[in-house]
């Protein structure tokens, strides 16, 4: 009986945590992404970087695909195997959506993120766009700052980091 109660408690705790993290994600403007089937044969390699003078941003998505009269960016991460898209990957894709918007004069409604086992369709919502612009502002501010605290608590990342020798904030 005790084991049953413990299992029930753990299942409930998992549910609470899942719904809490979902609320946090939505509150932050980060769309969850849907797993979709994608016709990868229609994807065209993006040969040249896209550039936005307005946002002082440049980048090259792996592919561009035309769907329902709209250009959609695709980012491929063959080494990733996750049931949910990583936040950093979603923001990278959002940056490509912003660049496509400037380059082609039309705002993509979504972009694709391809991991090793799944393709996620990420909605390019107003809140995701705003989140990206806020992050870009923060990054630019940080570039001018004398010291910036690390955005992680993982000493192992510092051990692999190329800036480790000069970084005063290193954790290992």
State in angstroms the smallest separation of the CB of 91 from ligand SF4.
18
Tally the C-alpha atoms within 13 A of residue 59's C-alpha that lie toward its C-beta: 22
Q: What separation in angstroms does the CA of 102 have from each of 40, 98, 99, 155, 156?
A: 24, 6, 5, 39, 38
Task: Pick the stretch among 44-52, 53-61, 68-76, 161-169 that binds ligand SF4 (CB under 6 A).
Answer: 161-169
32 binds ligand SF4 (CB under 6 A): no
165 binds ligand SF4 (CB under 6 A): no
Rule CB under 6 A: choose which of 16, 117, 142, 150 binds ligand SF4: 150
68 binds ligand SF4 (CB under 6 A): no
Kindly give the interhelix angle for 87-104 and 126-144, rounded to the nearest 10 degrees. Answer: 100
State in angstroms the smallest separation of the CB of 115 from ligand SF4.
24
């Amino acid at each position: 009986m005790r084991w049953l109660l413990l299992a029930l408690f753990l299942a409930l705790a998992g549910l609470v945590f899942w719904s809490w993290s979902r609320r946090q994600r939505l509150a932050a403007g980060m769309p969850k992404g849907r797993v979709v089937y994608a016709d990868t044969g229609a994807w065209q390699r993006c040969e040249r970087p896209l550039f936005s003078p307005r946002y002082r941003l440049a980048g090259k998505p792996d592919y561009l695909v035309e769907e329902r009269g709209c250009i959609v960016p695709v980012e491929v991460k063959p080494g990733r195997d996750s049931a949910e898209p990583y936040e950093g990957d979603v923001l990278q894709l959002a940056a490509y959506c912003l660049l496509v918007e400037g380059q082609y004069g039309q705002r993509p409604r979504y972009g694709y993120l391809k991991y090793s086992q799944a393709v996620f369709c990420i909605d390019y919502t107003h809140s995701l766009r705003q989140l990206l612009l806020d992050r870009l502002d923060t990054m630019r501010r940080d570039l001018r700052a004398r010291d910036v605290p690390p955005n992680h608590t993982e000493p192992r990342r510092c051990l692999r980091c190329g800036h480790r020798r000069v970084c005063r904030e290193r954790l290992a």
